Amino acid sequence: EPEVTQTPSHQVTQMGQEVILRCVPISNHLYFYWYRQILGQKVEFLVSFYNNEISEKSEIFDDQFSVERPDGSNFTLKIRSTKLEDSAMYFCASSFLDSNQPQHFGDGTRLSIL
């Protein structure tokens, strides 16, 4: 069964550095998403992306975050100047349509900011 893959599984970065988290969504899916889960807290929606542009974003997704689909297979989340509070699990997801369709998740990237 096709799956969403995320790399790396664990990223350790110094505070203030830029980090790029990578995802390969399921190949025929059209909608892509990023979520994060801070340790001990709920999974939080960050952003959705369709047709090479952001379609929805949450209040968490501020100017330090950006997303990109640099080629036909990858979907990336960039955090420009990382802060300690950015430490979390970051999940990528994809779906074929935007509504009434389940999103399929990757196993996440654990981001640790030192």
Partner 1 sequence: DQQVKQNSPSLSVQEGRISILNCDYTNSMFDYFLWYKKYPAEGPTFLISISSIKDKNEDGRFTVFLNKSAKHLSLHIVPSQPGDSAVYFCAASARNDMRFGAGTRLTVKP
The 60-89 site mask, x for binding partner 1 (CB under 8 A), equals: ------------------------------
When binding is defined by CB under 8 A, the residue of 21, 65, 91, 111 that contacts partner 1 is 91
By CB under 8 A, residue 11 contacts partner 1: no
Closest CA to 7 of 95, 59, 75, 67: 75
Q: How many CB atoms lie within 10 A of CB 43?
A: 14
Q: Distance between CA 104 and CA 3 in Å, rounded?
A: 7
When binding is defined by CB under 8 A, the residue of 21, 29, 31, 65 that contacts partner 1 is 31
By CB under 8 A, residue 55 contacts partner 1: yes
By CB under 8 A, residue 28 contacts partner 1: no
For residue 13, give Cα distances in angstroms to 16, 26, 51, 110.
8, 28, 31, 11
- Chain-centroid distance of CA 113 in Å reads 16
Per CB under 8 A, the segment of 13-21, 38-46, 71-79, 80-88 that binds partner 1 is 38-46
Helix (H) or strand (E) holding 113: strand 109-113
Binding site for partner 1 (CB under 8 A): 4, 6, 31, 33, 35, 41-45, 48, 50, 55-56, 58-59, 91, 93, 95, 98-100, 102-108
